[in-house]
Amino acid sequence: MFHAFAPYATAPYSTALYALAALSLVLAVALYRIIMSPNLRYHSFLYKVKAAIIFRCGKIRRLHAAPWVTWDGKEEREIDLKDVREAQRFVKAGDIGLHNDWGFACNLAIPGNFKHAWIFTGGDQIIEAVQEGVLKRDAMYPLISDYVVILRPMGVTHEEVREAVSRAESIVGSDYDANFDFDLDDEEKKFSTNLRCSKFHGAFSCTETVAFSWLRCRDKLGIFRTKHAGREAIIADDYLRMHFEVVWASPSVTPKWLEENGMHEEGRLKIGKFLERGKA
């Protein structure tokens, strides 16, 4: 009796095994399709598994502060080196740059599309204020970014350009203004009084550095402060409201990006006109 009914007793187990085998096959095919790279399609399945693990582990990077490790292996910027070289060939002394480095937490505290500003001094050099202070260094530093526009002051003379560059160079070594006071008139007074005796020790944020450099042309360029978070300041986007023309924009700066990130109408129109000229 036992042998006669044995096949019926094991039938449910056989069905379960068949189902498990079919599910395993489906999962294996799905895993294969997920990890398969077109660049590895001529290699074996085991090689593809190994390569996928290696490539993904290779994107893990140690950090010097909490959370100590990141899985975001994206080191490329939206702007490639070809674009950077083009911009460097094109810019002139006195031009200013605005950029946005995507993904930094501090961007949340800075209003506008663009988060940083600097001034070109000529010879592929720029002056910018960063947390280490006001520095003069290679233009590659701010240009290797994600979104960049370069602006040129309108209606200024060669002498005024030289003066703006000279003023920028005179504040190299100053501290970064973490208070964001934007006390341009006070800084100008101290600068004019103490420059010759080397007692000028102002503190500047990035946009304040640009404004201070061009402050003698304040009326001509329409340099002004606007209220942000209850205080008078200048943000990078404000320069697109002033008398500066767009002379270069990275391919990543598109009308869609400007609109999605809330660029004011003057900025959208000014950059839009430049982009249209590039298409003509």
In the chain, where the domains are located:
2-70, 81-279
Query: Which phi and psi (to 5°) does residue 276 adopt?
Result: -65, -40
pLDDT at residue number 210: 96
The residue-averaged pLDDT of 7-25 equals 72
pTM for the complete prediction?
0.72
pLDDT-derived band at 147 (thresholds 50, 70, 90) equals very high
User: In the predicted model, is pLDDT for residue 188 greater than 60?
Assistant: yes
The residue-averaged pLDDT of 229-250 equals 91
User: In the predicted model, is pLDDT for residue 2 greater than 50?
Assistant: no
pLDDT-derived band at 233 (thresholds 50, 70, 90) equals confident
The residue-averaged pLDDT of 142-161 equals 95
Mean pLDDT of all residues in the chain? 81
Percent of the chain, pLDDT > 90?
Answer: 42
User: In the predicted model, is pLDDT for residue 5 greater than 60?
Assistant: no
CATH of the structural domain 81-279, one choice from 3.30.1360.120, 3.90.1720.10, 1.10.260.40, 1.10.10.10: 3.90.1720.10
More confident residue, 253 or 21: 253
More confident residue, 151 or 81: 151
pLDDT at residue number 59: 62
User: In the predicted model, is pLDDT for residue 113 greater than 80?
Assistant: yes
User: In the predicted model, is pLDDT for residue 128 greater than 50?
Assistant: yes
